[in-house]
Amino acid sequence: MNNDKHDLPSLTVKEIMITSVVTVFPEMTMGEAKEIMRLKNITGMPVIDKNRKVIGVVSIADVFQALDEHKLDAPIRERMTVKVHSVKPEDSISVALSLFRRYQFGRLPVVDDGNTLVGLITPKEVIAGLAAFLKLEEINEGDLGTKSGSEINRTLEFHLQGGNFDQAGIAASTLKKTLQEIGIRPEIIRKATIATYEAEMNVVIHADEGILKAVITADKLKISVNDRGPGIANIEEAMQVGFSTAPDKIREMGFGAGMGLPNIKKSSDYFKIDSLPGKGTDLYIEINF
């Protein structure tokens, strides 16, 4: 099986982080934090001192607990999380992805060597950054090869683990490069990359594990994805743009926008999906060259 990360780690936190960060001060109240989160539609914020040093993080979970205990008038310093995990601008996104996966954070402060806040990164920025890295909107035709015949026939296979966001984009990136080497047209490569990327994310977000297999022949690309997981109760609903069965925690992290299956179908010339609730889902698509 091919599970190399190739050059995905070359993408750095600095390239995708948010630089305009909503913050709070420790002397502010939990009630004020609650109102800021409501107005800004966010689920957490770094807590900084007057020198913009990160001294904690306050989340919507902290607000809910304060609400339950009738402590919304308490200062944030008394309720915030003080053990803060952060990343540096020069860190690769694989470092951030590992922290997101290990601790299930919804956000990570980005700090310089002096622990001064310089940005914020969430899984949403990581996925958007990966999509840009994969150049879904632009394939450089100058990189294409001129292979034909038996050189075209390739099979790529990837084992995907549910919840492992470190893998996001690896299969799509590998397939894109392979198609470029073969000499497939840019518009076909773009469709294949989008479909593969969305299929990867569906497994990572929804399933326990899965196998993605891409078979390249002289006239088409065949992609099959077989996962083990909760399955899809209503495929017709799942095919609607915006519909999502992603858990609340995954949605809080910025995933599960409900565009996966519609995007895959739109990018395919043939599309078939079968699912058994409680067992898993089998997806098969073809893209003609």
pLDDT tens by residue, 72-97: 999 999 999 999 999 999 998 888 88
Please, are residues 206 and 246 in contact by the beta-carbon 8 Å criterion? yes
**Which pLDDT score, from 0 to 100, does residue 97 have?**
81
**Which pLDDT score, from 0 to 100, does residue 194 have?**
86
Q: Map out the domains of the chain with their CATH numbers.
A: 8-127 (3.10.580.10), 140-288 (3.30.565.10)
Please, are residues 216 and 182 in contact by the beta-carbon 8 Å criterion? yes
Proportion of the chain above pLDDT 70, given as a percent: 82
Distance, CA of 49 to CA of 27 (rounded, Å): 9
Distance, CA of 199 to CA of 261 (rounded, Å): 8
Distance, CA of 116 to CA of 95 (rounded, Å): 19
**Which pLDDT score, from 0 to 100, does residue 61 have?**
84
3-state secondary structure 81-104: ECCCCCECCCCEHHHHHHHHHHHC
Closest CA to 282 of 273, 262, 231: 273
**Which pLDDT score, from 0 to 100, does residue 145 have?**
46
**Which pLDDT score, from 0 to 100, does residue 242 have?**
60
Average pLDDT, the chain: 84
- What confidence category does residue 1 fall into, taking pLDDT thresholds of 50, 70 and 90? very low
- What confidence category does residue 136 fall into, taking pLDDT thresholds of 50, 70 and 90? low
- What confidence category does residue 209 fall into, taking pLDDT thresholds of 50, 70 and 90? very high
Distance, CA of 62 to CA of 46 (rounded, Å): 13
**Which pLDDT score, from 0 to 100, does residue 33 have?**
94
Q: Pick the range with the lowest mean pLDDT from 4-8, 147-151, 187-191.
A: 4-8
Longest alpha-carbon distance in the chain: 72
In sequence order, which residues have a C-beta less than 8 Å from that of residue 275 and are 6 or more positions away? 231, 232, 235, 281, 282
- What confidence category does residue 206 fall into, taking pLDDT thresholds of 50, 70 and 90? confident
**Which pLDDT score, from 0 to 100, does residue 130 have?**
74
**Which pLDDT score, from 0 to 100, does residue 238 have?**
80
Q: Which residue has the tokens 């492992």?
A: 164
Find the mean pLDDT for residues 95-121: 89
- What confidence category does residue 259 fall into, taking pLDDT thresholds of 50, 70 and 90? very low
Asked if pLDDT for residue 67 goes beyond 80, the answer is yes
Q: Which residue has the higher pLDDT, 20 or 234?
A: 20
- What confidence category does residue 4 fall into, taking pLDDT thresholds of 50, 70 and 90? very low
Distance, CA of 85 to CA of 281 (rounded, Å): 35
